[in-house]
Amino acid sequence: MDRKIVEEEKEYKDTRIWNTNIVPMHGITTKLESIILDYNMKDILRRFIIKELHFCSLRILIYNIDAKQSKDVFEIFILLVENGTKLKILLLRGYHYRISYGFHMSKIKLLAVMCSEEFWKVFEELTILSLIGFTLSEPLPRILFTICTLMRLDLDGSIKLNVVQKGFKNLTNLTNMRLLNNKTLNIMSKEWTNLTSLKILDMSRCSSLTSLPNKMTNLFSLEELYLTSCSSLTNLRNELANLSYLRRFDLRYCSSLKSLPNELTNLSSLKELNLKLANLSSLTVFNLGSWSSLKSLPNELANLSFLTRFNLSSCSSLTSLSNELENLSTLKVLYLEH
């Protein structure tokens, strides 16, 4: 590369950047496809923007938000967004930096902007959106959920999902959705059943979630379902059995789960079922019938101190029973027929 490269004395001695006086000649910014914006990048990007350089090829923008950031960093981000009309991936991360004690997140102007309709109007081609580590005082605007190109959505943190989930009905191309650590979601609305392209759904640590939506069968493309540590989840829908492509199902640490549906054994594609029996101490009915690939029973069976009915019928690969069965003092019915 026959370009003039200059060394500049900055925080890191060996930092090398292209001379911004030469950049327009070579059109670097017009070809740039990915930017990670944080405090250390602000001076370089400011020079580009002052020179009215355009980022028309920008596809990926990652913004690590710091509570100590100055106003100009935020302004640079907004200018990048306005230039990035073809942006496909937007990752906004609020957890990378330690927020000082007593600092109010409302002071970060971006949080208010994110709740406005105008901010999201430019994202017509967005395929991946990740909002991680935020606490928003207002719900996300509805226009966000009209981006029909969206394929992955991460809404980690305390975003008010009880309000925004009504917009899910428009996200028919969504294949991957992660809603981890959300404390506000307690009921999944009927709009979820429109997510017919969804393959991965991760709702781990949604501690207020009490049940799954009706018509789960509409999520017929689902391959992975994670409900780890959904501590308020009390029951599962029988319709789960019709998720014929489901390969991985995680129910660990669902401490309020009372029973597993009989139809669970009809999940013909299931390869991995994760249960932490030690946290299912209130389980009264445990059905593993017709699970032909089951070869052994977990040692944690003894923790099911309220179990009254246990179905192991037609488990053709099961060759022996666990000694822990002797400790199931409340067990009344045990099915073992083949």
Q: What is the mean pLDDT of residues 124-134?
A: 84
Report if pTM > 0.85. no
What 3 state SS string does the chain have? CCCCEEECCCCCCCCEEECCCCHHHHCHHHHCCEEEECHHHHHHHHHHHHCCCCCCCCCEEEEECCCCCCHHHHHHHHHHHHHCCCCCEEEEECCCCCCCCCCCHHHCHHHHHHCCHHHHCCCCCCCEEEEEEECCCCCCCHHHHHCCCCCEEEEEECCCHHHHHHHHHHCCCCCEEECCCCCCCCECCHHHHHCCCCCEEECCCCCCCCECCCCHHHCCCCCEEECCCCCCCCCCCHHHHHCCCCCEEECCCCCCCCECCHHHHHCCCCCEEECCHHHCCCCCEEECCCCCCCCCCCHHHHHCCCCCEEECCCCCCCCCCCHHHHHCCCCCEEECCC
Q: Return the CATH number of the domain spanning residue range 5-276.
A: 3.80.10.10
Domain boundaries, the chain: 5-276, 277-338
Confidence tier at 28 by pLDDT (50, 70, 90): low
Residue 192 CB coordination number (10 Å): 22
Q: With 50 as the cut, is the pLDDT of residue 297 above it? A: yes
Lowest-confidence pick of 106-115, 159-168, 241-250, 255-264: 106-115
Q: What is the mean pLDDT of residues 219-233?
A: 92
pLDDT (tens digit per residue) in 1-24? 433 433 343 443 444 444 444 444
Q: With 70 as the cut, is the pLDDT of residue 185 above it? A: yes
